[in-house]
Each structure stands twice: as C-alpha cells, then as structure tokens.
Amino acid sequence: MCLSVLALTGCTSLFTQHVEWETIEPESYPVIRAVGYAPIGSQHGGNESEQVLMAMKASKLEAYRELAEQVYGQRVDGEQSLHNLMMQNSQLQASVEGVIRGAKVIKTYPVGDDTYATEMELDLQDVYDIYLATAKPKRIKNVRYY
C-alpha cells in the first residue's frame, strides 16, 4: 500500500505544462511636468552670452532632476548628534538617481534679468512604448497541463 501511494504522488511531478502569456497595458498614462531654474550671473563664462548658454543648460539639467525626483522619489538621509542633551550637529542630505527617457523640452525662456527657466514634460505613454521596445511585460494568459 505504501509503495502505491509513493508511486502515485511521484507521478504528479512528471506532468508538463504550457503557459501562454499576454502583455499588460496600463489603463491610463499620466504626463509629468517639471520646471528647472538657473541663475545667469553665477554661471562661469567669458561673457554674458556664454553665461546665458550655461544657464540654459543648467536649467535643463535641473528640470531633468525634477522629473527624476517625481518618477523615482528622493532619497533623504539625516543625522543629528547630542552632547549633554543639547543638539550639537544636525545634517540633512538629499539625492535623486534615475534614468529619464522620452522627456521633451516644452519651453525655455529668461525669467527677469538674471534667471533662466526650462519647462519639460514626460509623457508616460512614450516611456511605456520605449519600455515595450526593450522588454515586454507579461502575465499568464492560459496554462495547459499534459
């Protein structure tokens, strides 16, 4: 009797299966917007034209940072130290890391006399299409056992 029970339970692992997959698509795609600012006067450059160009680039990078912060979140590290129950030192550091693909510059323009701004947007429909081109997300559609 024991031998027949072992034989029956051992046979179940011999079955094979065929799994059908289907791709998953989100129901909606948000558009994320960000604005980056950079001061013109504090940019390195030999003349005002070079400073304006550097401020344009810096404001674009700031807008990218803002987009990355919205997509990936921001890492915040804090540290405080006490001495005789009195606050001695308090530090707070923030960082963001990520890859932004598919962002578009909407507008770049001067704000006042000494600041440059760049407006960007990231349509997550475009990001999803880029993602599908490299790795197709899947879920189980059907399973057949043989």
Q: Where are the domains of the chain?
A: 13-145
pLDDT for res 121:
97
Q: CA–CA distance from 72 to each of 64, 95, 96 (Å)?
A: 12, 11, 7
Given a cut of 80, whether residue 65 has pLDDT beyond it is yes
Strand, coil or helix: what is 103?
A: coil
* pLDDT tens by residue, 103-129: 999 999 999 999 999 999 999 999 888
